Structure 1
Amino acid sequence: MYCVKCGVELEKGRKECPLCKTKVMYEDLENESEEEYPEVKINLYKMNKKKIKSRIYFIMLTLTVISILEVLLGNITINGRLTWGYFVIPSIILTNIGIFIAINGWNLRKNLFLLSASLAVFLFILDMYDENITWSAKIGIPIVGSFFVLGLIFSRIRKQNKSKIKIFNYFLILVGIFIISIEIILSGKISWSLLASIPLIVFGLMFKHFYEEYDEELQKRMHL
C-alpha cells in the first residue's frame, strides 16, 4: 500500500502517511466493499445438471401422457373397449419409472422403494385383469417384497463400507439368499436353489475373508 499524495510505501494498519500526514482511506474502503459486496459461491455445474434433469423429466412425462392417450384411443377405436391396452399402459408407466431411476432421480433407498412399489402395483394390476387376484398375492408381490428387504440391507452395507470388493462380496451373498427366497415363495421348499446359492454364498464369504487378510496389500497393488 502506498500514499496517494507522496507515493511513500505504507506499513499495514497505518492511519496516516508518516511523511506528508495524509490520511489513509484504503482500509475503510476495503471493509465497506466487503460489507456491500459479500462473496457468493455458486456451483454452475450443479445448476446446469439440475436444469438438464428437469428438462428430461418433463420430456419423459410428456411422452408418457402422449403414449398412454394413443394406446387408450387406439385400443378403444379398434376393439371397442380396453383389451391389450390394459397391459400396455402399466408397462409404459413402469418403463418411465425405470428411466427415472436410471438417471438417478433420488438416492438409493428412495429409488429402491419406488421401484419395488411400482413393480408390486404393476403385478397387481396385471393379475386383476380377470377380476380374480391369484398369482400376484401368492408369488409376485412376495418376491418383490424380498427383493426390497434385501435391497435395503445392501444399501446399508454400501453406505457403511467404502471398499468395492467388500460390497461385491455382500452382493453375492444377498443374491444367494434371494434365490433361496424365490424357491420358497414358488414351491414352499428348498431344493435347486441350494445348488445355485451355496457357491455364491461360500465364494462371497471366502473372498471377504481373503480381502480382510490382505487388505493393505490389495489396496497398494490394485488401488481398491
Structure 2
Amino acid sequence: MGLALSVRDLVVEGDRGRRLLRIGALDIPAGSRVGVRGPSGAGKSTFLYAIAGLVALKAGTVTWGDETISAMNASQRARFRRERVGMIFQDFLLFEELPALGNAALAAGYAERAERGRIADGAAAMLAHLGLGDHADRAVDTGSGGERQRVAVARALAADPPIILADEPTASLDRAAADRLIGDLADLAETRGKTLIAVSHDAALHERMDRVIDIVDGCWTGEG
C-alpha cells in the first residue's frame, strides 16, 4: 500500500537566498495518483526532489506516513529512498554496460543480503509485466526509447516500493511509447495501491491521474 504525504510550510532556496519553492500545506492520501504541472522553471522538479529528500529545505516538513524525512540526516534519507521510493527520470539513467535485467535489478546491489534475491526476482517479474521478459539479457543500448524507459520503470519498482516519483517520464518518448508508459504507470499504481506523483507537461498523463496540482513561480497555486 502507498504512503500518505503531508507537506507543511516548505521552503526551498537557491543561491543567494532566491526562493525556488514555497508550499504552505499539501496533503496527498496514500494510494493517490497525482500529476504536477506548470511552466518550465516553475519549481515542479524541485518539489519532486524535495519530497524525495534530495534537496535541502530552508524550512518546513515533509512527512510520508509516520516518517518525517525532513528531520532525517542524509544517510537516513538515502535509506528511506532505497526502501520506500521508486524514482523514474526523463533521461532513463541506465548503465549501458549492463543488460536490461542488470539495470532493473540494480537496487539489489545496495540492499541488505536478505533482500537481494527478492529484489532481483521483482526486477525480472516487472520486466515481464512490462513486456520485456524476452529482453532481460539484451543490452539496453539496443532498445527503443520506450523499451529503455520501461527498463527504468522496472528498476524503480523492482523492490515493490510504496511510493513512485516520476520526473517528466514521457518527455523523451514518441506519442505511442508515451501512451503505453502512462498506461503502465497508472495501472500499476492503481492495482498495487501505490502513491504515484508525476511531474509532467503531458496532458495525456494528467488525464490518468486522480488529481492534478499546479505549481507556478515556485508556489502551489491550486488544482485543475
Measured against the shorter chain, the TM-score band is under 0.3
Query: Please, what TM-score do these two structures have when normalized by structure 1?
Result: 0.27
- Name the one with the larger helix percent: 1
Query: Please, what TM-score do these two structures have when normalized by structure 2?
Result: 0.27
Larger radius of gyration: 1
- Name the one with the larger strand percent: 2
